[in-house]
Structure 1
């Protein structure tokens, strides 16, 4: 089984990149499943039906979330009614969204879970206990590869969770910090791991926002309105190969590709 996972797709720049380059990446890697973290699709704040539909139409199979998933209250019903949008499993059951999602294509079966960390993050239940409860009560692990998007600020929390689930899931892909880490590996019991897959979007920025705005905020400590950057577009992703029988990872490849556009990526509607 082959999986392509895009790191946090930020704003219009990130959406434009995925829509423009997914076909090329599919030709190169021939993935069975395409997944992305989409909690920042709508100008860095949550997602909307419009912003996510463009990506589903481009060939994305599932969108994972995080603490910003619900930033657009007008999208709560859409999130609730779309099973391919996956909310963090360790948030309250009343929060809109699907806590896990299983995709079947041909002979390939992949279950996707999203979890949020607790360190330096909004209050939520323990991701360790939430996963353990789900795993012990689920039949999925006997019949499906499992991929976890672990959405967390803390590198130590992500690393600890990777060790915690090694051998139980096929892959743990870290998201949230928008900075790609160079520690991709397959852990001893067969779980593919990376602390953070990074951000697909405008990298001439501060994690997606125009850098001048963030510098001023740090200088003067005053609240400023954030604006998404469109400079320095870049793909951050990972490519995975998972064994359908053992559910163990066979390969993890980190992808970091700058992209050049002749014109501003904001010239086209998306």
Structure 2
């Protein structure tokens, strides 16, 4: 099975980039499942029904989230809609957390779990993801593919998670930092891993935000307002994971970026 995973969609330009490039990418890759991280889809923070629908129409089967999942009040109803394939991090503490952090879907009669988990290093103090995985994974069907979107800040926590879950899940792909890393590989011929898949949005901003504001912050050391760079040129970051349906082990993982300086994937 081929799973296509697209990194953090930032703002309207991120949705436009997705609408422009995702159909073309899918024609080349021909994935059986497409997952898109959409937690930054509305003005860089949060998601609403309109943005979710646009991401879905563009070609996403599942939309995952992260630390900005709750930044929009209208998003609560979206997460609570059982008919929507949208996730927030599984390890938010408490018993009555809106929405779901995992979804089980059938793809050509093969069961696939998509799990959204958030790290805690330099992040909000959610439930320990390692302990949460220990409790969650034994409850899932063994003969199923398990794909993890690990939304975290530090590469050390991401790599540790990938190694810890080797042989337990099919893939661990990081999100959140918006910069694609160059470490895609398969641990022990079992679990595909990538520290960060990157972002989808402005190629000319800084992590999707207007560059002048960020540069000013570093020059003055004073807080500045973050605004999505909606006038920049488009880019999309993604990876393709190939998984053996019989063993649920990953065969390969390859990462790609399409931007004005690199369109080789579509040539």
Q: Same fold (TM over 0.5)?
A: yes
Equivalent residue runs for 1:129-208 within 5 Å: 129-136=131-138, 138-140=139-141, 142-208=142-208
Helix, strand or coil for the counterpart of 1:57? helix
Q: Distance in 2 between matches of 1:189 and 1:159?
A: 16
Equivalent residue runs for 1:229-248 within 5 Å: 229=229, 230-248=231-249
What displacement does 1:18 show? 1.0
Is contact 2:189–2:250 with CA below 8 Å preserved after alignment?
A: no
Helix, strand or coil for the counterpart of 2:237? strand
Which residue is equivalent to 2:110?
A: 108
What displacement does 1:145 show? 0.3
Aligned partner (choices 96, 99, 109) of residue 97 of structure 1: 99
Aligned partner (choices 114, 117, 132) of residue 119 of structure 2: 117
Q: Distance in 1 between matches of 2:121 and 2:60?
A: 30
Is contact 2:101–2:117 with CA below 8 Å preserved after alignment?
A: no
Segment drifting more, 218-227 vs 107-116: 218-227
User: Structure 2: which 5+ runs fail to align?
Assistant: 262-267
| RMSD, aligned CA | 1.3
Helix, strand or coil for the counterpart of 2:104? strand
Q: Distance in 1 between matches of 2:74 and 2:221?
A: 30
What displacement does 1:59 show? 2.0
Runs of 4+ in structure 1 displaced over 6 angstroms? none
Is contact 1:84–1:98 with CA below 8 Å preserved after alignment?
A: no
Which residue is equivalent to 1:256?
A: 257
Q: Distance in 2 between matches of 1:107 and 1:23?
A: 24
Q: Distance in 2 between matches of 1:155 and 1:95?
A: 27
Q: Distance in 2 between matches of 1:72 and 1:259?
A: 32
Segment drifting more, 209-218 vs 83-92: 83-92
Q: Distance in 1 between matches of 2:38 and 2:121?
A: 21
What displacement does 1:105 show? 2.4
Helix, strand or coil for the counterpart of 1:85? coil
Is contact 2:189–2:251 with CA below 8 Å preserved after alignment?
A: no
Q: Distance in 1 between matches of 2:195 and 2:59?
A: 26
What displacement does 1:124 show? 0.6
